[in-house]
Amino acid sequence: MTSRSNSFSNFSESSYDYDDKEQSTVPTSDRDEPLNPGHRNNSFNGLLGFTFGSKKMRKKKPFCQEKAIVGLALFVIAFVGMNWWMLSRIQNSGRASRVEFRFLEDNSSTLSIREELLRLGLGKGRKPQKTIYARLLAKAAHSLAEGQKKSEPKDLWAEPYFVASSWKPCAEQRQWLPSEGKNGYIIVTANGGINQQRVAVCNIVAIARLLDATLVLPRFLYSSVWKDVSQFGDIYQEEHFIDYLKPDIRVVRELPQELQSLDLEAIGSLVTDADVVKEAKPGFYKKYILPILHKNRVVHFLGFGNRLASDPLPPQVQM
- Do 212 and 119 share a structural domain? no
Domain of residue 71: give its range. 58-96
3-class SS at 38?
A: helix
The pLDDT score that the predictor gives to residue 315 is 76
212: left (phi over 0), alpha (psi -120 to 50) or beta: left
Question: Does 262 score more than 60 pLDDT?
Answer: yes
- Do 130 and 70 share a structural domain? no
**How many structural domains are present in the chain?**
3
- Do 185 and 114 share a structural domain? no
Of 303 and 47, more confident: 303
- Residue 185 covered by a domain: yes
- Do 128 and 212 share a structural domain? no
What pLDDT digit, counting tens, does each position of 151-168 carry? 777 777 777 887 877 777
Question: Does 51 score more than 90 pLDDT?
Answer: no
- Do 284 and 185 share a structural domain? yes
- Do 310 and 184 share a structural domain? yes
- Do 198 and 307 share a structural domain? yes
Query: CA distances (Å), 118 to each of 49, 106, 138, in order?
Result: 82, 20, 11
Question: Does 146 score more than 50 pLDDT?
Answer: yes
Single-letter amino acid code for the residue at 253: R
